[in-house]
Amino acid sequence: MRVLITGVDGFIGKNLRVRLQERTDFSLIPLGRTDFQAGLRRAMVDTDVIVHLAGENRPEDESGFTIGNVGTTEQLIDEVKRQSREIPILYASSRQAELDNPYGRSKRDAELLLQQFSIQTEAPVVIYRLPGVFGKWCRPRYNSVVATFCHEVARGAEPAVFGGERELSLVYVDD
């Protein structure tokens, strides 16, 4: 099976790439941030399934959430339509999509685009709303509260805890 992974150089993408390369029944088509626009059409030609991980979680300004999460999803959908064939899409969203913050709204908007696409075309789309993901290659103060907490504790700092009354749901990246 030929698997296109968008966001292949990100935290989850890098881990997925390593895992799938250990198997012989998958052929990977990696697509990173730098080659997303230019390489999307070419990558799609031989794709059996798409794992859509591309997105933005720490933009310079709030508009980056829309560009990185909604914009890449729109481009992906447009290209799948251009291919005139059914390509299943697995989308990594976030539980943040349930919250009213710029990141959560952008993830929810991308989900809605994919759901509408699936309804209109009957193309298979699966949306995973991931909890807090942690594991190898995550970065403190960037993509993992666990990495940030561990980084602070290891350096003798007092880690800040926000929303301490809420239970934090986590998943290890290899799981």
Which residues belong to the active site? 103
**Nearest alpha carbon to residue 139 among 7, 10, 6, 8:** 10
SS3 62: coil
Distance of CA 34 to the CA centre of its chain: 16
Report the distance separating Cα 77 and Cα 82, nearest Å: 9
DSSP codes of every residue in 144-166: -HHHHHHHHHHTT-----SSTTS
Closest CA to 35 of 9, 64, 63, 15: 9
